[in-house]
Structure 1
């Protein structure tokens, strides 16, 4: 770009995308005099999925605003809790977020997950077709215009990822109602109905089962139940704190 120069200040939460802003505070950015402020912000490294209000010289403007020379821009982070209008809250996660996907499903949150890399265009198209919020650490994917909605996953640790998503979107939690393998809905099942999936010890020790209505996978309170219960308890406690 080679045109009017503006001054841009990013909210602290957004400085992870613009390391130089962390060092110097307010950036000087040269624009072309034609591009929207939203385009300028993205060109500096910040996906618009993470941007809340854009404030120019004290007044809030839309992302379509074309900045003029000398304007001072403040880029705020998206407000929390974030509301996604027009559809039930559902998520789509890319190939790198498998653990987060399973934990969201454990909590009963409708979570689609691609276990193979199908490419950004296909992910964006699915987000739009199914009206799912795309969760990803891929900034390029989150910049695709065809996304229904999206959000950057800031941490690489599943515990922090889950907390961030729950705080940001505050989805309804219905633990133990979804299949962690395929996202299908669980139903109560008898031992006889799932007997072909049980080893002898399991068959003898457990009497309470659930089964996925989509893939048929059986569930019971096995060896890892305490760990899963702890994840659920932390999530429910967080929800109570936010009310």
Structure 2
């Protein structure tokens, strides 16, 4: 009968368990369990898993990782490290380089207000309140849209083409986060906030029969959605929406300036 290794053998390194040290950037530590957020993370390693798998198992979704380094050398998520390696886990740069511009977005079911605000500033944004995770991933991949979500598990879906975790719980925070991360070119007042369709300006005479008496007497500038035929005019909420647009333009300009400073 085979005898178990002695304690001396363990201390001599004969049966030393394999480990990796993850040095996670401060911006990404909120993804980690609370006990791991204030120091390097030592995780067991089976010797065969990819580094990307190890990082995601620790809690950090790969779409949030801007780079991995071992011994100061950049490595791919497919890299298989050696036991004892220290791995630097870096955040995505802000603004994040995009494969095409302007970006197209798909939002999960919990981000309806954010969807309307992104459309307000002219960003192509698809949103449904009745899609399950599998359908969202399929749609994002088929239409080459960046999936925005606060669901970390959704970001770890292996087939997902591109995704991003939305920081913040309030719509203002989420809006600022997405614009600061991607610094997309804005085209305010060009999309329907209800359906994402393009807007066209129309003369008052073309839509007058559809207007209530007070609206017809007060406003002269109108736009119509080419997809759902919804009408828009600068009504009672216009000042608030104008302030949202102005704040969005400032956020994108500041993000663009940071990008220039890094060059």
- Alignment TM-score > 0.5, same fold: yes
The secondary structure found in structure 1 opposite 2:30 is coil
The secondary structure found in structure 2 opposite 1:16 is helix
CA distance in structure 1 between the aligned counterparts of 2:228 and 2:60, rounded to whole angstroms: 39
CA distance in structure 1 between the aligned counterparts of 2:61 and 2:17, rounded to whole angstroms: 23
Specify every segment of 5 or more residues in structure 1 that has no aligned partner in the other structure, as ranges: none
Q: Does 1:103 align with 2:121?
A: no
Q: Highest Rg: 1 or 2?
A: 2
1:225 to 213, 238, 243: 238
Partner of 2:159: 146
Partner of 2:43: 29
TM-aligned CA deviation for residue 11 of structure 1:
0.6
Partner of 1:122: 135
- The 8 Å contact of residues 3 and 33 in structure 1, kept in 2 or not, is answered as no
Partner of 2:87: 73
TM-aligned CA deviation for residue 44 of structure 1:
0.8
Specify every segment of 5 or more residues in structure 2 that has no aligned partner in the other structure, as ranges: 1-15, 258-263
Partner of 1:162: 175
Partner of 2:6: none
Residues 180-233 of structure 1, C-alpha deviations (whole Å, 9 max, x = no match): 000000001122333354222111111110000000000000011010000001
Structure 2 length as normaliser, TM-score? 0.87
Moved more, 176-185 or 137-146: 137-146
CA distance in structure 2 between the aligned counterparts of 1:156 and 1:196, rounded to whole angstroms: 42
Q: Does 1:213 align with 2:213?
A: no
TM-aligned CA deviation for residue 237 of structure 1:
1.9
CA distance in structure 1 between the aligned counterparts of 2:99 and 2:136, rounded to whole angstroms: 20
- The 8 Å contact of residues 95 and 183 in structure 2, kept in 1 or not, is answered as yes
CA distance in structure 2 between the aligned counterparts of 1:3 and 1:35, rounded to whole angstroms: 15
- The 8 Å contact of residues 120 and 191 in structure 2, kept in 1 or not, is answered as yes
CA distance in structure 2 between the aligned counterparts of 1:194 and 1:159, rounded to whole angstroms: 33
- The 8 Å contact of residues 184 and 252 in structure 2, kept in 1 or not, is answered as no
CA distance in structure 1 between the aligned counterparts of 2:212 and 2:199, rounded to whole angstroms: 21
The secondary structure found in structure 1 opposite 2:228 is coil
CA distance in structure 2 between the aligned counterparts of 1:3 and 1:96, rounded to whole angstroms: 42
- The 8 Å contact of residues 103 and 180 in structure 1, kept in 2 or not, is answered as yes
- The 8 Å contact of residues 95 and 114 in structure 1, kept in 2 or not, is answered as yes
Residues 85-117 of structure 1, C-alpha deviations (whole Å, 9 max, x = no match): 15751000011001111001000011111122x
Q: Does 1:112 align with 2:126?
A: yes
CA distance in structure 2 between the aligned counterparts of 1:196 and 1:217, rounded to whole angstroms: 14
- The 8 Å contact of residues 22 and 88 in structure 2, kept in 1 or not, is answered as yes
Question: Where does structure 1 differ by over 4 angstroms across 4 or more consecutive aligned residues?
Answer: none
